[in-house]
Structure 1
Amino acid sequence: MAKTGSTGAQTQDKDVVELLLDQHNQIKALFRQISGERGRRKQELFEDLVRLLAVHETAEEIVVHPTARTEIPNGEKVVSGRLHEEDEAKHVLAELHGMGVDHPDFDRKMTEFAESVVEHATHEEKDEFPQLRKKLSADRLRQMAGAVRAAEATAPTRPHPAAGESAVANLLAGPPLAVFDRVQDAIRDWRRSGR
């Protein structure tokens, strides 16, 4: 999968809400693609989904939700619901990973997971994102987008098949929560650097 989001100046001009909405669309597209594939291609698409969800959810947890919690009306209530959903999603991803894409129950479980993720995205788009746009300056929203770009830049991508064993290959072969941990570290490093 190509890096999430656009490249160049167009990506640099997008604010955090635009980037996250783009990712919602990419996540939905991956769910549709996964449902129509089998074998190795299905596994590759599942790995792409894990990576994108790690980038997306971690950026939200570390940058977006803390801001929403303090800046939007009923922020604590809105954010607590989203955090609960995101925590559940991580556990389901780990369960799906443990099953493997060829498991007889994988497609059923993936369909249920897709429905819950789309519902989660709808809540964000309705309850959180519009309020962030209303309450925060355009400059602050663009600055927050830096966390999403930092997560995208450091999240592991699938290595080229000829690359053999590598740390990235091993990370992707491991549990999805390891991908979330790596992205979380990258965003924290980005925040500490004051970008």
Structure 2
Amino acid sequence: MRQHGDIRNLFDEVEQATGAARKDAFRRLVRLLAVHETAEEEVVHPFVRRSLPGGEGVVEDRLAEERAAKELLARLDDADTDDPKFRSELAGLRADVMAHARAEERYEFIHIRRTAAPERLTSLARAVEAAEAMAPTRPHPGTESAAKNLALGPVTALVDRTRDAVRRAMGKEG
């Protein structure tokens, strides 16, 4: 839930900044969204599938939202952040991501808080942290499942993190 607030704040920062500052804020937003969604796909959604009556449908709805957001985010990832089209597409992405976050909070997170024992919550939190540490830093539409993330994630994360390092070295991160 804290990360949902961080995401909202980064959207604000991207919308209010200009030039290199906007580009930097957007890169941080892309990274946070990619890492956050991977952790949910690997940890939160499988737990909800197993423990919530009707969990399969709840998760499938969230995965469809995630895929749509990843597709738009992937298109925007290399876009010129000063292009007027960028701002309008960013507004659409923000609306989609915020609706998705509200649905997660309403249909998944509340169930987890109500039903999971404290020690289970602690183990879920540790699993989320571990997933985030190994997650890709770019959106990869089509990998919206724990199995695909676990199979493709480490290689994809290595490629993404190498790309991030090259961008920083070349001064293209902001």
Q: 1:136 to 1:53 in 2, by over 3 A?
A: same
1:185 alignment partner in structure 2: 154
Contact 1:96 1:106 (8 Å CA) reproduced: yes
Q: What is the Cα deviation at residue 176 of structure 1?
A: 4.0
Residues 1:150 and 2:130 are matched in the alignment: yes
Note if contact 1:85-1:120 (Cα within 8 Å) is conserved in structure 2. Answer: yes
2: CA distance, partners of 1:65 / 1:74: 12
Query: Identity percentage over the alignment?
Result: 42
The residue type equivalent to 1:119 in the other structure is A
How large is the Cα RMSD of the aligned pairs? 2.4
Match for 2:35 among 48, 55, 61? 55
TM-score (norm 2): 0.76
Alignment-mate amino acid for residue 153 of structure 2: Q
Q: After TM superposition, which residue ranges in structure 1, 4 or more long, deviate above 4 angstroms? A: 180-183
Separation (CA, whole Å) in 2 of partners of 1:52 and 1:120: 15
Match runs of 1:25-174 below 5 Å: 25-154=5-134
Deviation at 1:46, TM superposition (A): 0.7
> Normalising by structure 1, what TM-score?
0.69
Letter in structure 2 aligned against 1:59: A
CA distance in 1, matches of 2:55, 2:127: 20
**Counterpart amino acid of residue 72 in structure 1:** L
The residue type paired with residue 118 of structure 1 is: M
Q: Judging changes above 3 Å, is the alpha-carbon distance between structure 1 residues 131 and 124 closer, same or farther for their aligned structure 2 residues?
A: same
Return the offset for 1:134: 2.0
The superposition leaves residues 126-184 of structure 1 with CA deviations (integer Å, 9 ceiling, x where unpaired) of 1111111222211111111113222444558xxxxxxxxxxxxxxx7xx6439x97993
Contact persistence 1:63–1:144 (CA under 8 A) = yes
